[in-house]
Amino acid sequence: MSGSRLPAVTLTLKQFLQRQRVLGLYRSLLRTIREVPDQADRSYLQAWARDEFQRNKNATNQDAIRMMIMQAKNHLEELQRSLALARS
């Protein structure tokens, strides 16, 4: 008996696009974290990002998700600014 590769619940187009946005933001955050020079800070930030995204992965309230996306973008931009200042 072969198992279906389709998810149990099908996402709407809006949910699919939002999911792609979240995954892209997560990847960008991890890429930026890789640029942190100190290994201890890098490990802490990776664990923090993973925990935050894991903790909120089952969120369904669209307004709450949009707010979390904005917060994650703000954290990403702040980290990028800090890294840029450290390089100069």
DSSP class per residue in the chain: -PPP-S-SSPPPHHHHHHHHHHHHHHHHHHHHHTT-S-HHHHHHHHHHHHHHHHHTTT---HHHHHHHHHHHHHHHHHHHHHHHHHH-
pLDDT band at 77 (very low <50, low <70, confident <90, very high): very high
**Overall average pLDDT of the 45-52 stretch:** 96
Residue that wins the pLDDT comparison between 78 and 15: 78
pLDDT at 75 over 60: yes
What's the pTM value of the predicted model, to 2 decimals? 0.83
pLDDT at 2 over 60: no
**Overall average pLDDT of the 12-25 stretch:** 92
